[in-house]
Each structure stands twice: as structure tokens, then as C-alpha cells.
């Protein structure tokens, strides 16, 4: 499989590049307690990662109150700002793959439903802010994944500021919302199964490949 035609790579963050499970669960359950809701088990919370916090809140509580979901989100962000980065770590192969792309001079971006500053903070705390060129997060677009807005914004920036042809960009993600966003944006997609979405669901959308994780992607590109 030839990945050399891709001159720029866009990644989802949670369960694609990194595992922030501990921080996510802590932040949700602290905020649930604050709002008088019962704590949720880890698997339930993990199953909503990839959606926005208000969407996840409504799914896990059954609430349809948009105003309440908005207040929950604001409180969640305050809590997550204090604890998330310290409870986030690379998934196997992710740092190595980003380093390989950096060494090859290929731009790297993240499109996420998280706040973009939190992604930037992670790479800064790792001492390697150069591994990601830019982040399109929750506050940079009006419609989040599975809407294509984030990917389209990233593609436009890569074309404008980095001189990359839009056809030479690929998106890597672990969730069905990632596959749907790539399809809506008309962008090549590589699925990784390090999240909660099984391979058969990722494979049901247009894709270049579905692999077990970034570590397999690193192996494939190193041996291409």
C-alpha cells in the first residue's frame, strides 16, 4: 500500500494519537457530581468520545435540555483544563509516526472536537510542539464532526499556507464520526481501531485502509 502520495496528514486526537481516558472519565464524573447526576462507568463514557461534550452529556443522562448541556460543558471545560493534559499519553507508535512525518517535511494537523488549546498544551508539555503544525478544534468551527467543517478548514489552510494539493491530504481517525466527516469533506480516510468503533463500521465508509492503530501505520509506511 503506497502512502507516499500523501503530502500532508490530518489526525483526530483521542484514541487516534493519544489516550486521555483517565482524564476524560475524571472530568466527566466530577462534573456529573457537581450537577447532581450519578457517575458513569468508564466504558459508557468512552463510547461517547468523539462527540461534543454537550452531545455526550445528553446521551449519558437522557437530558434534552440544551441550556443545561451548555452549562455542563462550561463546567466540564474548567475541570478538564486542570487535569486533562496530565492524564493524556501517546498511543503506541503515534509519536514515532509524527516524528517520521516531521522529518520528511510533511505537514501534520489535528482536527478534534476538543478545545484546540488543550491539544497544543499536550505537545508543549511533551517538549515537542513542532510535531503538530496546527489544530482545528471545537471553537474554530461552527459545526463539529461528523460535519466536514473542521476537515475543510484544515484542508484550506494546508493548501493556502503550506502549498499542499487538496488531493494529497489524508485524514486518520478512530470513530464513525471521523469516517462520516471525511466522506462529507471528500477526503481520503484511514481508520484505526484503537477507539471504540469496530473495524467493520469504519470499513463501511469510503476508506483507503483500516488498520489496528498508528503503530501499524508506522510499520506500513516504514516498509513501503
Query: How does pLDDT run across 50-60, given as a tens digit for each residue?
Result: 899 999 999 99
Q: Provide the H-helix boundaries in the chain.
A: 21-34, 42-46, 53-61, 66-83, 94-103, 116-125, 149-162, 176-185, 199-202, 214-222
Which residue from 104, 109, 93 is spatially nearest to 217, judged by alpha carbons? Answer: 93
Per DSSP bridges, beta strands 108-111 and 134-136 are parallel
Q: How is the chain split into domains, by residue range?
A: 8-19+89-222, 21-86
**Is the pLDDT confidence value at 89 over 80?**
yes
> According to the model, what pLDDT value does residue 220 have?
87
For the chain, what percent of residues have pLDDT higher than 90? Answer: 96
- Tens digit of pLDDT for each residue in 146-187? 999 999 999 999 999 999 999 999 999 999 999 999 999 999
Q: What are phi and psi of 144, to 5 degrees?
A: -95, 170
> According to the model, what pLDDT value does residue 1 have?
77
Mean pLDDT of the chain: 96
Q: What pTM, to 2 d.p., does this model score?
A: 0.93
The yes-or-no answer to whether 8-19+89-222 and 21-86 have a common fold is no
Residues 90, 17: contact at Cβ < 8 Å? yes
Among 12-16, 102-106, 156-160, 219-223, which stretch is predicted with the lowest mean pLDDT? 219-223
Residues 212, 193: contact at Cβ < 8 Å? yes
> According to the model, what pLDDT value does residue 34 have?
97
Residues 194, 14: contact at Cβ < 8 Å? no
CATH no., domain 21-86: 1.10.150.240
- Tens digit of pLDDT for each residue in 188-202? 999 999 999 999 999
> According to the model, what pLDDT value does residue 223 have?
66
> According to the model, what pLDDT value does residue 120 have?
97
For the chain, what percent of residues have pLDDT higher than 70? Answer: 99
Indicate the fold that domain 8-19+89-222 takes in CATH: Rossmann fold (3.40.50)
Amino acid at each position: 500500500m503506497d502512502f507516499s502520495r500523501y503530502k500532508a496528514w490530518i489526525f483526530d486526537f483521542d484514541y487516534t494519537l493519544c489516550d486521555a481516558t483517565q482524564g476524560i472519565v475524571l472530568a466527566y464524573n466530577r462534573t456529573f457530581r457537581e450537577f447532581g447526576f450519578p457517575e458513569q462507568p468508564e466504558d459508557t463514557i468512552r463510547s461517547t468520545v468523539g462527540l461534543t461534550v454537550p452531545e455526550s452529556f445528553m446521551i449519558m443522562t437522557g437530558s434534552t435540555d440544551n441550556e443545561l448541556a451548555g452549562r455542563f460543558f462550561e463546567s466540564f471545560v474548567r475541570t478538564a483544563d486542570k487535569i486533562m493534559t496530565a492524564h493524556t499519553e501517546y498511543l503506541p507508535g503515534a509519536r514515532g509516526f509524527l516524528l517520521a512525518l516531521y522529518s520528511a517535511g510533511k505537514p501534520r494537523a489535528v482536527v478534534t472536537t476538543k478545545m484546540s488549546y488543550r491539544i497544543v498544551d499536550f505537545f508543549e508539555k511533551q517538549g515537542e510542539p513542532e510535531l503538530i503544525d496546527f489544530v482545528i478544534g471545537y471553537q474554530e468551527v461552527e459545526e463539529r464532526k461528523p460535519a466536514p467543517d473542521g476537515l475543510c478548514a484544515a484542508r484550506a489552510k494546508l493548501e493556502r499556507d503550506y502549498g499542499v494539493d487538496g488531493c494529497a491530504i489524508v485524514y486518520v481517525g478512530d470513530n464513525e464520526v471521523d469516517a462520516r466527516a471525511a466522506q462529507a469533506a471528500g477526503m481520503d480516510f484511514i481508520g484505526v481501531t484503537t477507539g471504540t468503533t469496530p473495524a467493520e463500521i469504519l470499513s463501511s465508509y469510503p476508506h483507503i485502509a483500516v488498520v489496528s492503530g498508528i503503530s501499524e501505520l508506522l510499520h506500513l509506511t516504514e516498509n513501503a
